[in-house]
Amino acid sequence: MIGSIAGDIIGSIYEFHSIKTTEFPLFVTESKFTDDSVLTLGIAKALLFRKKSRKKYNENEIREIYKENIRSIGLRYPTAGYGGTFHNWLFMKIDKPYNSYGNGSAMRVSPIGFAFNSVEEVLNEAKYSAEITHNHPEGIKGAQAVALSILLARNGFKKNEIKNEIEKRFKYDLNKSINDIRISYGFDITCQGTVPEAIITFLESKDYEDSIRQAISIGGDSDTIACINGGIAQAYYKKIPKDIITNVLNHLDSTLIKILIDFNKEFNVLQ
C-alpha cells in the first residue's frame, strides 16, 4: 500500500498544475501527503482493527468499522484536502452515504487488495468500504476494479490477463493508449473518468517508477490517478525503489507510519 501513498505524494503538486510529460522530479519541497493517503491509511486501520479483534463481523458491522476508522483518521488531519461533500460528511458526522461516484472510493481501497486473498472477499470488502460514502454503482465499481487489479497483480497474473478480467467484469475500455489519453485528458474526479486511465497507465509501464510517471503524465487529478496506479504497480512489480520509500516515510508523521508498518507486518506486504 506504500505504493499508493507514494503516488499520492509524488502527484500532489500536479493535481491543479497538470503536466504532460514523464520528465519531472519525483519529490520537491512542496510535495505532501493528501486526503488520498490519509483515507487509504484509514482503510488499513480498519482492517488492522478487525484482524486484531479476531471476531467475525456481519456486513453492517464491517461498514461501521470502515466508517469509524475513516472518520477518526480524517478528523485527525482536517486540512488534508477533502472534497466538499466528503468534507461535510466527515465534519458534520452525517450517517448516510451521499450517492457519490467520485474517485474517493477508488483512491482509498488499495489495502483491501493486499489484505484479502479471494476474488469474492476483495469485491465484497471493496463494496463495503465504498458504500459508507460512495454508494452510487460507479463509486462501488471503481473501488472494486482497483482492489481486484491489486489482487490479480499480487497473484502473478500477467498484464493482459488483468486487463481482460477488468474489462470483462466492469466494462471499462482499457484499449486507449497513454499517448491518446494524454492529448485530450483533463481534470476528472469521477471513478469512471479516473480508474480506467490509472489502470491503463499501469498496463503500459515498465517498472514501479515508470508507472507513477506515466500516471502523472496524462494530467488531470494527478495525485489520485497516481495513488490508484501506485497500488496496482506495487502489487505487480513487487519492489519499489528504496529512495522512493525513504522519501515517503520522510513525508509522513509517526501516526501514519505506524499504521503503515503495522499493516505491512500483519498482512505480510512486501515493499
Fill in the amino acid letter for 87.
Answer: H
> What distance in Å separates the CA atoms of residue 46 and residue 64, rounded to the nearest whole number?
10
pLDDT at residue 112, as a whole number? 98
Instruction: Label residue 51 exposed, middle or buried (CB < 10 Å: 0-12, 13-18, 19+).
Output: middle
pTM of whole model > 0.95? yes
pLDDT at residue 94, as a whole number? 86
Asked if residues 219 and 185 have their Cβ atoms less than 8 Å apart, the reply is: yes
pLDDT at residue 271, as a whole number? 60
pLDDT at residue 10, as a whole number? 98
Alpha carbon of 20 to those of 146, 180, 207: distances in Å? 24, 12, 19
Phi-psi region of 37 (alpha: psi -120 to 50; beta: other; left: phi over 0): alpha
Q: Which domains, from first to last, does the chain contain? A: 2-266 (1.10.4080.10)
Using 70 as the pLDDT threshold, list the residues of the chain that sit under it: 271
Largest CA distance in the chain: 50
